[in-house]
Amino acid sequence: MGQPLHHASARCIRPEQPPHHAPHPDQGRAATVLSGKRKSRCAGVICSGSASRLWPRLRARRAAHWPKPSIPTGLLGTVIVENQGGGGSSLGAAAVARARPDGYTILLGGSSTHITEAVLKSHPLYDPIKDLEPISNVVVAPFALAIHPAVPARTLQEFIDYAKANPGKLSYGHAGVGSLNHLTGELLKSLTGADIVQVPYRGSGPATADTLSGHVAMVTPAVTGALLELHRTGQLRILAVTSPARLIAAPDIPTAVEAGIPGMISQQSIGLFAPAGIPRAIIEQISVASRTALADRTYQQMLIESGFEPDLDSTPEKFRRSIEEEIARWTPVVRGIGLKLD
């Protein structure tokens, strides 16, 4: 809290005064930086350029519109939403892991970052299990297997057959080496035996753009409203999504499992975390407030239209279990392809 915050402030759920826990000594200095008013810091680590970049701002605005009687007393106030990218979002997550566990600094981040640290690095910046406390999952973001419309395949199985008939001649773009987009593509190759060349980009945006222009045959981005629009207008063809069930926003698109590839499930959870050691009372307060905000149908619809699947009954325990399960599931995939980032 003692460092200047360079991003614009936004209104968001936050504890005005964390229960049973005194503010730390640095808070006075931070208050001076922030125009003399006490504010909390919510570190969003979604990379700039991603369609998910709007996520912290949208969530902050929606939370602010809740009338005070509808959520626990004292959880409405002003916070700083800081989009801190770098290192695949690991730098922002590590900063929160090192912060004081007092409820004034929380992380809104995706499980893909934690998978990167736990599975892909020999020297991780933080331990996602020991250094962060899950508060509440908010949404699940699945991925899409999308191809250029000129590729002669109408279904995922047809695409796999075409790739096997042309080994090493097709390529797919992804958001960067070690990203969950990358691992999704490698999981597809592992499960099907298809020889498809991976092409790393600096984000899903450039990878999608090169698929649109025909430079690569396939892209593995997270599902977004913009991506679904490209599918509906015929600019891209989404062969399948990697969620366990069909999406509410696109019930006509089959899952990869339905398309004949058992085990082809890949999605990331995006939710709230705090530094380890935060009092349980604060965790419960913020978790309840998050579920209350998600109960609003208008907010749910906004998330669905953006390609997210709202998690309406998350608890700290469920969220922790899902993170642990994801790390365990991706570990053998990463080892199988021999991937390390350091």
pLDDT, greater one: 199 or 80: 199
User: Given this model, what pLDDT does residue 278 score?
Assistant: 94
Tell me, yes or no, whether 47 and 117 share the same domain: yes
Q: Mind listing the pLDDT tens digit for each residue in 76-112?
A: 455 666 766 555 678 888 989 999 998 888 888 889 8
Q: Is residue 249 in a domain? A: no
Q: Within a domain: residue 227?
A: yes
Mean pLDDT of 310-338: 93
Q: What is the CATH number of the domain that holds 100?
A: 3.40.190.150
Percent of the chain with pLDDT over 90: 58
Q: For residue 38, what are the domain limits?
A: 9-139+268-337
What confidence tens digit (pLDDT) does each residue in 115-128 have? 989 999 999 999 99
- Is pLDDT above 90 for 3? no
| Residues 65 and 109 placed together within one structural domain of the fold | yes
What per-residue confidence (pLDDT) applies to 85? 59
Rounded (10°) CA dihedral 273, 98, 126, 263: 10
The runs of H, that is alpha helices, within the chain are 27-33, 55-64, 90-97, 111-115, 156-165, 180-192, 204-212, 225-232, 280-294, 297-305, 316-337
Residue 248, in any domain of the structure = no
Element (H or E) spanning 196, and its range?
Answer: strand 196-200
Q: In this structure, are 121 and 169 located in the same domain?
A: no
- Identify the pLDDT of residue 106: 87
Least confident range of 71-75, 105-109, 284-288, 314-318: 71-75
Residues 124 and 160 in one domain: no
> Which of 161, 219, 218, 239 lies closest to 194 in space, CA to CA?
161
More confident residue, 18 or 91: 91
In a domain? residue 251: no
331 falls within a domain? yes
What angle, rounded to 10 degrees, do the helices at 316-337 and 280-294 form? 90
Please check whether residues 274 and 131 belong to one and the same domain.
yes
Q: Is 262 domain-assigned?
A: no
Query: Residue 56's pLDDT is what?
Result: 44
**Number of independent structural domains in the chain:** 2
